[in-house]
Structure 1
Amino acid sequence: MTREEKPISDAIDTRSPSVARMYDWLLDGVDNYAADRKACEDLLEIAPSSKVLARNNRAFLRRVVRVLAQEYGIRQFLDHGSGLPTQDNVHQVAQRVDRSCRIVYLDTDPIVLAHGRSRLDQNDRVAVLRADMRETEAIFGTPEVRRLIRKNECTAALFVSVVHCLKDEDVLPMLAAVKARLEPGSFFVICQLVSDRADIRNRVTDLMDRATGGKWGRVRTADEVRAYFDALGLDIIDPGLCDVTDWRPDSELMPRPKADDWVEWGGVGRVPIR
């Protein structure tokens, strides 16, 4: 490890909330415990639209993977902070476009690894890796990544609803380290929880920091998320950076319920081809 931190434990701590398991509960999943449910109930008191937000975010993930595979020919995906498996995971969406698509899922939660390997590892083009997403050098050195994320091929690096889990000092170094390992023409998908309301930002950040034992970053503003794309020098593709509910919706006729207290905000940027 490159940081003065405790190594990742294999033990499943059911007494402390997990971000992955909380997200699972918000999506009406069953892979969660009483501590996760209690933390979600506390979260809903602060931000009542959190369930709507989680569903919108998952729909965005499905759309963006499909667009990158269909319209841009991306065939390899690195999903940082993938969370627990749910309906229409990244490999299912991508491999419906092309069976040759290759996906590596990354998460630190041991329950993600346990469930992921049983539900996601469905063919030899999918791998589930237990890793701290900040440890880019170690991740790219694993057999799974060396086998599935090929050099000289464009990659989609997914950071969907995970950057808010990181401290400010970790975000840009991690993103820059990933960019240094990707081919020009690769894509970054970055979105995170943002709010225009300082009370929401502060209260949710305090709640999650306490609930996760400090394993949390903070709710940010849209301008702060935009700064990530600017710092990386990415070319932002249409429709730009926005509430992810508005990112290439499947139909303009379909109702798109929105969260009104906070939103998942971001988009897709491409590493310039020079």
Structure 2
Amino acid sequence: MALNLPEIDPTVPSIARVYDAFLGGKDHYEVDRQVYQQVMQIAPDSVRTGRECRAWLIRVARFLAAGAHVDQFLDLGSGLPTAENTHQAVQRINPEAQVVYVDNDPMVAAHGRALLEENDRTHFAVGDLRKPEELLQDPTVGKYLDFSRPIGLIQSNTLHHVADEFDPAGTMTQYIDALAPGSYVAISHLHMPTEGPLQQKAEELQATFMAMMGTCKFRTRDEITSFFPGLEMVEPGLTYLFDWWPDGPRVTPPADGDYLLLGGVGRKD
């Protein structure tokens, strides 16, 4: 199926390409590296924190595919491919698992088109995650995902790029309302502490992202909790990413930046 791919603008930083820089990828431009360098001046541990985000996503994917026996996934704002992705993690456990990625970034869309050619259980849709009423009607989403059965919905480092004016809590309510009982929702989000030096660092990082990209909102624990309306949280609930089902004991203490991200998984009964 042909995708209607938007044009790539190398003069404007892209959320997906900036994250690619933090993850050590090669799919970014000088304008994206400028954002990366500015953030590194404020938070030198950001590369490590970016890798912690990806590790959390893979642990979540494994839990959903193995522990929760979910066999279809909707990964919103999926970003550029890295060494390990949602479809690889879940299909290693269940080769028949269906994964639909959604993003509105043109470079991500180009990679998504390549995925269509190499894996018949991995699909891509161009869409805006801020518009659930449109995205849920997308032909690719409807063709490959059965909303009468449980789905794993993933919002990994996406909602902090949705401004309050777009009502992220209301947006998540619409997504959750569309899911069948037994579905799971996974969210990771930048966290705004309420006091101390970490609050100051969060405010500086937020200002930097806003100045260079026009998008970024660190939110409090209560605000992030509101994105799981009516869901039963999987233990240990909404927590620092490094504390969510770690693969083993830590050999080094968490970096400061690791305390600026919260993540959790909720189940719809």
**TM-score of the two chains, using structure 2 as the length reference:** 0.91
Q: Does the Cα contact within 8 Å between 2:5 and 2:109 map onto a contact in 1? A: no
Partners of 2:251 and 2:9 in 1: how far apart? 39
* 1:58 aligns with one of 37, 54, 60: 54
- The 5 A counterparts of 1:96-245 are 96-119=92-115, 122-169=118-165, 170-196=167-193, 197-212=198-213, 214=214, 216-229=215-228, 232-245=229-242
- Which stretches of structure 1, 4 residues or more, deviate above 6 A after TM superposition? none
How far has the Cα of 1:11 moved from its partner? Answer: 1.7
- The answer to whether the 8 Å contact 1:201/1:218 transfers is no
Task: List alignment gaps of at least 5 residues for structure 2.
Answer: none
Q: Which structure 1 residue ranges, 5 or more long, are not aligned?
A: 1-7
Asked if structure 2 preserves the Cα contact closer than 8 Å seen for 1:185 and 1:271, the reply is yes
Offset at residue 226 of structure 1 (A): 2.1
Q: For the Cα contact (< 8 Å) 1:22–1:40, is it kept in 2?
A: yes
Which letter does structure 1 place at the counterpart of 2:200?
D
Provide, for residues 227-260 of structure 1, a one-character-per-residue CA deviation record: whole Å limited to 9, x for no partner. Answer: 322xx111001122111111111112x5355231
Answer yes or no: is the 8 Å Cα contact 1:245–1:256 preserved in 2. no
Stretch of structure 1 that moved more, 189-198 or 95-104: 189-198
Aligned counterpart for 2:9 among listed residues 13, 18, 35:
13
CA distance in 2, matches of 1:163, 1:130: 17
Q: Name the Cα RMSD after superposition.
A: 1.7
Within 2, Cα distance between the matches of 1:265 and 1:120? 32
CA distance in 2: counterparts of 1:120 and 1:247, whole angstroms: 32
Provide Cα deviations, 1:134-187, integer angstroms capped at 9, x if missing partner: 111221212211111102110111011111101124211210110111001111
Query: 1:181-233: CA deviations, max 9, x gaps?
Result: 10011111011111423322322222212212x2x14112223212322xx11
Q: Aligned with 2:135: secondary structure?
A: helix
* Counterpart selection for 1:246 from 240, 243, 246: 243
Q: 1:33 aligns with which of 17, 29, 50?
A: 29
The partner residue of 1:23 within 7, 16, 19 is 19
Structure 1 residue 9, shift from structure 2 partner: 8.1
2:267 is aligned to 270
Match of 1:5 in 2: none
SS of 1:266's equivalent in the other structure is strand
**In structure 2, the residue corresponding to 1:228 is in which secondary structure?**
coil
Percent identity over the alignment is 36
Q: Give the letter for the 2:205 counterpart.
A: V
Change (3 A) 1:223 1:33: same
- Partner amino acid, structure 2, of 1:226: T
Partner amino acid for 2:221? A
Query: How many Å apart are 1:12 and its aligned residue?
Result: 0.9
* Distance across 1 between alignment mates of 2:10 and 2:255: 29
SS class of match (1:70): helix
Q: Using a 3 Å threshold, how does the CA distance of structure 1 residues 176 and 239 change in structure 2: closer, same or farther?
A: same
Residue type of the partner of 2:223?
A: E
Correspondence for 1:78 among 74, 95, 99: 74
Q: 1: distance between equivalents of 2:116 and 2:48? A: 25
The Cα of 1:118 is off from its aligned counterpart by 1.6
